[in-house]
A = this chain, B = another copy of it.
Amino acid sequence: MSSGWLCIAGLGPGDEALITPEVSAALASASDVIGYLPYVARVAPRAGLTLHPSDNRVELDRAAHALALTAQGRRVVVVSSGDPGVFAMASAVFEAVEAGPTRWRDLDIRVLPGITAMLAASARAGAPLGHDFCAINLSDNLKPWALIEKRLRLAAEADFAMAFYNPRSKARPEGFARVLAVLRAACGDARPVLFARAVATPEEHLQIVPLGQARADMADMRTMVIVGSSQTRTIARSDGAFLYTPRSAALS
């Protein structure tokens, strides 16, 4: 077995102060950093470190590249934003492990967790995910729309708060409007919705509106959307509002 190792590391939502010391230590001892270009750009260059930025939608190629380098004895960090285990590179790496040569299975592979976007967004607004909730990736690149719609209806019936990743993309601008229509039919117009754009970056912008006033163009590719449960409450204050879900719940 090679002495190489592979860490699949989460850089958090953007602010350096949200990167764990574990991830910083892995980056400091890495020989190679691999990932989507804007995430690799967050790693400072230094002697002895090779940066391998790549384009979006080549996750499996990137994962296989990382595994091949690891098998050669390199010290490799695959970087994701947020947490690598939530709609990010960790699953792609394990897909590549399963599809690849058997010896890849015994490589030293570790996933290093990070602050995922929904928890950073939730923290900025208050605590909308303070009770039972679900996380749904609205990208339909890798799953049919019918499955997304089924999950929306069941999540509403379960009265989960809902966190939505990838609400909107240029490739399917109409998808998120359909999501909002399904949610309005299931949850009514009063339910609070948080649009949290570019959380923990200088471009951060938060907006809380009732579902009846939520419009698809309030989200872009950098926006996390959180829809409250029936119990979620807003607390008005001089500068905006807190949004939170209480710890207790009754059958609705």
Contact = CB atoms under 8 A, between A and B. Distances in A.
B147 A154 contact: no
Interface residues of A, number: 80
A16 to B, nearest CB: 7
Contacts of A210: none
A83 interface: yes
Number of copies: 2
Interface centre among A12, A132, A157 (most CB of B within 10 A): A132
A96 B208 CA distance: 21
A119 B249 contact: no
Interface stretch (A38-46, A121-129, A177-185, A188-196): A121-129
Nearest to A18: B20
Nearest to A245: B91
A85 interface: yes
Interface in A226-244: 233, 235-239, 242, 244
Contact of A133 (B106, B128, B135, B233): B135
A88 to B, nearest CB: 8
What 3 A-B pairs are tightest by C-beta distance, nearest first? A91-B130, A90-B127, A142-B248
19 contacts: A16-B21, A17-B20, A18-B21, A18-B22, A83-B119, A84-B123, A85-B127, A86-B129, A87-B131, A88-B130, A90-B123, A91-B127, A94-B233, A110-B123, A112-B123, A113-B122, A134-B155, A142-B247, A142-B249
Interface of A: 12, 15-22, 25, 59, 83-88, 90-95, 97-98, 105-106, 109-116, 119-120, 122-124, 126-137, 142-144, 146-147, 150-151, 154-155, 157-160, 233, 235-239, 242, 244-251
